């Protein structure tokens, strides 16, 4: 099936309107600086000094939101500072 110029314009207009509506419905994005992620990684590091914790316990100990916790865990994991062990209920995290 070939598209005529008119149908291409209609599709383009629809796509542009869809994108405007879709982005208008989004909540404001909270930006986090690299420095803040590093600070949160420090909170995790300090919490794990006493021994391994589950992600649930680590979230409670650090009082971090889940997204912030995950960013900081990713930071420390990328630096090869953590060990992860999954069990049936949760993931246990420890310092290397």
Is 1 within a domain? no
User: Does 1 have pLDDT greater than 50?
Assistant: no
Q: Over 70: is that where the pLDDT of 7 sits?
A: no
Could you give the 3-state DSSP secondary structure of residue 51? Answer: coil
Whether 4 shows a pLDDT value over 90: the answer reads no
The CATH number covering residue 55 comes to 1.10.10.10
Give the number of domains in the chain. 1
55 three-class SS: helix
pLDDT at residue 2 greater than cutoff 70: no
User: Domain of 39?
Assistant: 34-95
Residue 57, in any domain of the structure: yes
Count the Cβ atoms, other than its own, within 10 Å of residue 5.
7
- The model's pTM is 0.68
What is the rounded average pLDDT of the residues 55-66?
Answer: 96
Residue 18 lies in a domain: no
Judge contact between 94 and 83, C-beta under 8 A.
yes
- Residue 40 maps to a domain: yes
Residue 38 within any structural domain of the chain: yes
**Alpha carbon distance 10, 24 (integer Å):** 21
């Amino acid at each position: 099936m070939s598209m005529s110029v008119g149908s291409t314009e209609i599709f383009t207009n629809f796509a542009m309107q869809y994108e405007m509506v879709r982005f208008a419905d989004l909540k404001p994005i909270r930006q986090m600086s690299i420095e803040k992620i590093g600070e949160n990684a420090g909170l995790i590091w300090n919490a794990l000094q006493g021994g391994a914790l589950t992600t649930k316990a680590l979230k409670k100990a650090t009082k971090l939101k889940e997204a912030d916790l995950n960013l900081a865990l990713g930071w420390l994991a990328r630096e090869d500072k953590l060990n992860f062990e999954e069990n049936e209920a949760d993931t246990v995290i420890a310092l290397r």
